[in-house]
Structure 1
Amino acid sequence: MATIQEALLIAFDLHQDRRLDEADAIYRQILDALPGHVMALHLRGILLGQSGRLEEGCALIRQAIAGDGAQPDFHTNLAGLLEALGRLDEALDSMVQAATLDPTRLVQLNDFAMRSLKAGRPGEAAKALRVATGLQPLSIELRCNLAVALAANRQGAAAAAERRIALLLAPDAAEMLRLLGEYLLPLGRQAPDGEAVRTLRRALILDPLHHGIWNGLGRLHKEAGRLTEARRAYESGLAVDPAAAELWNNRSNVLKGQGDLETALAGQRRAAALQPDEIGIRSNLGDALLLAGHPEEALANTQAVLALAPDLGESRLLRALALLTLGRFEEGWAAWEDRWTVQPWLFAAGRFPQPAWMGRPLGGNRLLIWGEQGIGDEIQFASLLPLLVRAGVSCVLECEPRLVPLFARSLPEVEVVARGWPPDPDLTRTEAAAPDRPPIAAQIPAGSLPRLLADAKGVPLSAAPYLLADPARVSGFRAAIPVGTLAVGIAWHTTNPKHGRSRNIPLRVLAHALHRPGVRIVVLQYGDWTQEIAALTAEGIDIGGLPGLDPWSDLDGLAAAVAAVDLVVCIDNVTVHLAGALGRPTCALLPYAAEWRWLRDRTDTPWYPTVTLCRQQAPKDWSVPLRLARQRLDELAGG
C-alpha cells in the first residue's frame, strides 16, 4: 500500500500528463485521509483552476496557505487564479506576498504590471510596480516600467521622478536620458532652454550617433511649434542613420506644416520604402500624396492600407477625401460618413439622441441639422437648407453663434439656434416642446446632407446664392468707398494649421497685383495688419479697411462688407464661402493641391455659381491665379 507521499507523487505525475480526472481522484483520497495536507490542497486547487473551476481552486489554495503561508508558490498560483477571475486587487496582494517571500518572484509582479498596462489598466500596473520597486529599489528596469505606467495613467510628474531615479542609478545611460526627455515633454517643459531640451542634449553628448535621441529632440520641438528646429533635429538623426524610417516620417510631417509639400512627399515615400509594412507610415504617405495634389495615387495607397487595416480611421477619411477630390461623388459621400471615427468629428458624434435622418418623410415633425465642422463648411452645407424648405421639411439649424444673425435673416423659414456645449436642451428633446411645436423626429449633421441632396451622379446640389446681408450695413459700407471707385475686397491669410502655408499669399504680392487707378482695395481679412497696410498706402496703393468692421467676431458685418464691394479676390478661407453664398463675383485663389471641395481641373464649382476658381499651375507659384484675378478686375474696370 502506497504512502501519502508516494500517492502524492503518483497524482502529480498524472497531473503533469494532463490526466486530470485520475490525478484528482488521488488528490481527493489523500485529502479524505488528511484534510489539512497543504501540498495536496495546493495541487488540487491548481487542477480545479485548470478545469475551469476557479472559485473552488482559490478556496483550496487559500486553505493550503492557511496551513503553510511561507510557500511562495502557493501565493503565486493563487494570484494566477484570482487574475483569471478578474479579481485583480486580490491577485496583486498574492503576488506581493510571493515576492516578499522570494525576491525572484518580482518577475511575476512585473509581468502582471505589463499585462495590466497592455490591457489599458495603467493604474493597476503602477500600483504593482510601486510595490516591486519598494522590494527592489535599485532595479533600473522596474523604475523605467513604473515611469511608463505612471505616464500612461496621466501622472507625468511622478513618471519623470521615476525616470530621474533611474538616471541616478545609471547616470551615463544615453537611452535613459532620451526617455526622461520625452517624459518631460507633456509636462510643458519643452521651452528652448527647458529641462526636456537640456536632458536630450546631454544624451546627445553621451551618444551623438543615437538617432532615437535626435528623434526625441525633433518631436519635442515640433510639439512646441518650433518647426525649423524640429526639421534640423530630424535631419541630424538621418545624417547618422539614413535608414531610420521613423525619422523620415516625422520630418515629412514637419515639412507639411511648413508648406514644403513636395519635399514632404519625397521623404514620406522614402519612409514607406524602408518600412513598407508599417501601417502608420503608409497612412501618412496617403495624406502626403493628397496634400501634394496626387489624389489618384493617394486613393490607391489608401485602398492598400485599408486592405491590411480596414478599421484605420485616418485612412478611411483619406479615402473619402480622395474620392471627393476626384469628383467620384456617389462613392465619396458614402465614404465621407467614416469621418466620425477620427478627430475632431469623433468628439461630436452622438451629440443628439434623435435617430439619423435618411431622407424619409417626417410626418410634419421637425428635422435638426447641425454644423460639425468649420465656419466655411457650415456656410457651404447650409446652401442645401432652402432645398429642404422647398420640399416641405420643417428645419431647425444649430450653428456657430457668430453665424446666427446672418442665417436667421437669410433662412426665415428655418429655426436657427446657436451651438452650445452641451447642446440647448430643447434640441435634445424627443417629444413635443409645446402643442404648436412638433417634436424633433430626426437629426443630421450638415456635412451629411450632400449624400441625400445630390443629382443622379452624386453631384452636390446648392441653392446658392442664398445669404442676405444686412441692407443698412451694406449701404453704410458702400458709402465709405469713394464714389466712382471700383471696390475689390481681398482676404489673403488663414490660420489653418495644416493648410495655411500653402494657401496664404503675402499681402504685398496680392495688393501689387490688383493695384490700378480707380480701384480701392478693401481689406476683408481678420487680424491686425495695420503696419503692412500703412506701408502699402505710403507706396501710393489705395487700400484700407471699412469703419467699424471686425471680420473675425462680426461675421454678419463681414457679409455686409462682401456685399458692398464689386469684386472679391481671396484665398480659400471663410471669405470665399461668404462671397459665393451671397452671389458676389469672386476670384478664389487656390493652391496647386486645392482642398477636396474645389475638385480638380475646373474653373467653376457646383457650390457657388459666381465663384471663379483660379488655380496654381505649380506649387508655390501664384503668378497664374493673380494674372487671372487681374484680368477679371480689368474686365470689370473696362465695363
Structure 2
Amino acid sequence: MTFAADSRQLQTALDFHRQGKTGEAESIYRNILAGEPEHSDALHWLGLIAYQSGNNDAAIKLIQKSIAVDAKNPLAFVDLGNAYLTVGRQLDAEEAFRTAIELDQDIAVAWCNLGSALKSQGRFEEAKDAYNRALALDDDFVDALANLAGVLVELDQPKEAKDQCLKAISIDPGSAISYANLAAALIGTDDLDEAVACARKAISLDENFSTAHQNLGEALRILGQFSEAETSFVRAIFLNSWNMIAYIGLSSVQFVQDRIAEAKETLNTALQVDPAHGEAALALGRIAVWEKNLAGFWEAYAHRWDLGKSNSFGRRYFSPPVWQGEKLTDKSLLIWGEQGIGDEILFAGLIPEISPDVSSCVLEAEPRLVQLFSRSFPDIEVVPRENPPHPNTFSLDFDFQTPSADLLRWLRPEYEGFRPLGRYLKPCPDQVAEIKRRYRSLGEGPIIGISWHSAKSKRVNLDLWGEIFKVPGIQLVSLQYGDRRNEIEAANHQHEISIHYDSDVDPLSDMDTFAAQVAAMDAIVTIDNSTLAVAVALDLPTFALIPIFCDWRYLSDDTSNIWHDCLRQFQQKSPNDWADAIAKLATEFNQFVLEQGKS
C-alpha cells in the first residue's frame, strides 16, 4: 500500500467515523493495520471506536499501542485518559491528560478532562482550576461549563453552579450534562421540584446518562418519594457500576424504610467496586451505629478523611504521631477541632477526662469558641485555629496529636459501659445570672429557649409549632441565630403567644455570651443546629426535632440519646412531614412543664 493510498483510506475512514458510521470506519482502520500493523493513527482511531462502543479494555490496549509508535500525539493521550477514567483508573487518567497538556497546552478538552479526573479523586479545587483553564481557551466549551458546575456543587456553591449550567444551556439547549448538573445545583438550593424537572429533561436528552438518573433519585429521595427514587438509583447503577453516589443514595432509601440488610448489601457492593470510597464507608458506619456496633462505626468514621470534601471536615496536618488510644499519663497532646462549630462542641466533651493525665495539652479551636473553651477546660491551653497555625501548636514537642472526634473513638469505643458526656461547658456565671435576672421579668413559669432554622432538611418553621406553643405557663425566648424577627412576629400573631427576642446576644459572633444565654434557660426546644450542641453540653433538659435523614449521633430507635442523658429526640417519619414528631414532642414537653410546676 502506497503512502498516498494509505492517507486516502485513513481520510475516508475518518469521514465515516465523524458521520457515526463506525462499522465502515472500523473496517478501513483494520484494513490499514493489516498492511501496516504499527500504523499509529489507525491504532488510535480503532481504539477510539472501541471506547465509544464501551469496550474500554480493548480501547486502552489499542491506544497504548498507538502511543508506543508515536508518543507525540496529544489527542491519543486524551482518548487514553478517557478510557482510563471510564474504568475507574483515575490516577492513570490524570497522568494521560497531563501528558497531553505537556505536548500541547492549548487543547481545551485535555484541560476539561483533567478536571474530570481530579474531580473523580475528590480534588475539587484543582478540578475547578483545570475547568477554568479549559474555558480560558474556549469560553463557550459546554462540557467545561457543565463540569465546572458539578465541581461548584461539591464545593457547596450551588448558586454559582446554577449560573454555569444556565450559560451552558444557552449555548447548547441539547446538553444532557448541563441539565443533569443544573439538577444537582437546584438540589443544593433546595429547589427540589425544579431539580426533578431538570433531571428528567437530561434523561429525555440521554436516557443512558447515569448521573442524570442519580440526580433524579437524589431529588426524589429528599422529597420522600422513595419508590421512585429507588428506581432511579438502580437505573443509575445499571448504567454505570462505578456511580458510587447512586449506591449511597439507594442505601439511604433502603435504610429509612427499615430494609437494613439490603442497605448494607448495597454499600458492601459499592465498596467491592471502590474499596477506598470514604463516603460509602461512612454510610456503612451509620448503619453500625443503628446496630449498636460502635466499634464498627469508629472504624468506618476514620474514612472521613478519604472524602473529597475533607476540607469541610477541617483536617489539619501536624508533625507529631497520631494518637491511637495509648495511655496519656505524663504525655503531651495537641488536639485540633474539626468540622462545624456544633461538632467541635460535641467532640470537646471528653477533654475533662484526659486533661488530668496529660503533662500538657493544647486545643486548637474555632476562634469563636476559644473564650468559652478556655473557661470550660482550665487545665489545657486553647488557641484559635489560624493559617498559618498558632505558634503554640508547633512550638512544643508534642508526644501525640489527634483530631477532636478521635477523643470519642478511643474513650468511648463500645456501647458496653458507655457513659454519657454530662455537663462540660462553663459559661460566665455573672453573665448567666444577669441574663436570668432580665428574663424573669418576662413572667411566671419556666423560661424555654427555642430554635427552628437551619438547612431546609432540618428546618421546622414556626407555623408548624402550634402543639408546642399550646403548652401553658411558659415563657419563650428565641435562641435562633440570624435576624428572624419577622418570623417571630408572624408566629406571635398566628399562635397568640409572645416570643422574646434578645438583640444583645448574637450567636453568630459571640458564642460565649450565647452559651450564657442558653444556660439561663430552664429547658430547650430546638432542631438540630448549634443551639442543640450548646444545650446538651450544658446538660439542660432538651427536646429536639430530628430529620429523617439525620446525623449519626442522633440515630436511635427511641427518644433517648447515648451521648446526652438530658436529650429527648423526636424524629420525623418522612421528609417534609413534622406533624407526628411535633405531636410526640409536645406531649412529653407538656409533661415536663407540669412536673416543673410541682417541684
Pair 1:125-2:100 in alignment:
yes
| Partner of residue 202, structure 2 | 237
| Partner of residue 473, structure 1 | 431
| Partner of residue 532, structure 1 | 487
User: Which deviates more from structure 2 when the two are superposed, residues 251-260 or residues 588-597?
Assistant: 251-260
Structure 2 unaligned blocks of 5 or more: 1-37, 42-68, 83-92, 117-126
Pairing partner for 2:447 from 469, 476, 487: 487
Give yes or no for contact 2:539–2:566 (8 Å, CA) kept in 1: yes
Pairing partner for 1:297 from 238, 248, 262: 262
Give yes or no for contact 1:515–1:542 (8 Å, CA) kept in 2: no
Q: SS state of the match for residue 480, structure 2?
A: coil
Cα distance between partner residues in 1 of 2:128 and 2:564: 49
| Cα displacement (A) at 1:154 | 3.4
| Cα displacement (A) at 1:353 | 0.9
| Cα displacement (A) at 1:324 | 2.2
Are residues 333 and 148 of structure 1, via their aligned partners in 2, closer, same or farther at CA, if it must alter by over 3 Å? closer
Compare CA radii of gyration and give the structure with the larger one.
1
- State percent identity of aligned pairs: 28
Cα distance between partner residues in 2 of 1:150 and 1:312: 19
Pairing partner for 1:551 from 492, 507, 514: 507
| Cα displacement (A) at 1:492 | 1.0
1:402-551 correspondence runs (5 A): 402-431=368-397, 440-454=398-412, 457=415, 460-481=418-439, 482-494=442-454, 500-510=455-465, 513-539=468-494, 540-551=496-507
Give yes or no for contact 1:259–1:502 (8 Å, CA) kept in 2: no
| Partner of residue 93, structure 1 | none
Are residues 125 and 274 of structure 1, via their aligned partners in 2, closer, same or farther at CA, if it must alter by over 3 Å? closer
User: Which deviates more from structure 2 when the two are superposed, residues 236-245 or residues 448-457?
Assistant: 236-245
Are residues 211 and 627 of structure 1, via their aligned partners in 2, closer, same or farther at CA, if it must alter by over 3 Å? same
Letter of the aligned partner of 2:95 in structure 1? G
Q: SS state of the match for residue 444, structure 2?
A: coil
User: Which deviates more from structure 2 when the two are superposed, residues 623-632 or residues 301-310?
Assistant: 623-632
User: Which deviates more from structure 2 when the two are superposed, residues 589-598 or residues 155-164?
Assistant: 155-164
| Cα displacement (A) at 1:522 | 0.8
| Partner of residue 146, structure 2 | 182
1:613-624 correspondence runs (5 A): 613-624=569-580
1:331-410 correspondence runs (5 A): 331-345=296-310, 348-349=314-315, 351-362=317-328, 364-391=330-357, 394-410=360-376
Are residues 511 and 629 of structure 1, via their aligned partners in 2, closer, same or farther at CA, if it must alter by over 3 Å? same
Cα distance between partner residues in 2 of 1:637 and 1:150: 57
Q: SS state of the match for residue 502, structure 1?
A: coil
Are residues 422 and 181 of structure 1, via their aligned partners in 2, closer, same or farther at CA, if it must alter by over 3 Å? closer
Pair 1:318-2:277 in alignment:
no
1:13-162 correspondence runs (5 A): 108-112=73-77, 118-120=93-95, 122=97, 124-129=99-104, 144=109, 148=113, 154=129, 156=131, 159-160=134-135, 162=137
Residues 154-191 of structure 1: per-residue CA shift (max 9 Å, x gap): 36566346557xx8xxxxxxxxx753653675899987
Give yes or no for contact 2:199–2:213 (8 Å, CA) kept in 1: yes
Residues 302-337 of structure 1: per-residue CA shift (max 9 Å, x gap): 112212321222222222232123321122112221
| Cα displacement (A) at 1:491 | 0.8
Are residues 263 and 380 of structure 1, via their aligned partners in 2, closer, same or farther at CA, if it must alter by over 3 Å? farther
Cα distance between partner residues in 2 of 1:110 and 1:491: 57
| Partner of residue 65, structure 1 | none
TM-score, scaled to structure 2 = 0.72
Are residues 563 and 274 of structure 1, via their aligned partners in 2, closer, same or farther at CA, if it must alter by over 3 Å? same
Are residues 605 and 149 of structure 1, via their aligned partners in 2, closer, same or farther at CA, if it must alter by over 3 Å? closer
Structure 1 unaligned blocks of 5 or more: 1-72, 77-103, 132-141, 168-176, 432-439, 495-499
Cα distance between partner residues in 1 of 2:229 and 2:434: 47
| Cα displacement (A) at 1:259 | 7.2
| Cα displacement (A) at 1:350 | 5.2
Cα distance between partner residues in 1 of 2:556 and 2:231: 22
Cα distance between partner residues in 2 of 1:375 and 1:463: 17
Letter of the aligned partner of 2:515 in structure 1? A
| Partner of residue 50, structure 1 | none
| Cα displacement (A) at 1:479 | 2.3
Cα distance between partner residues in 2 of 1:192 and 1:109: 30
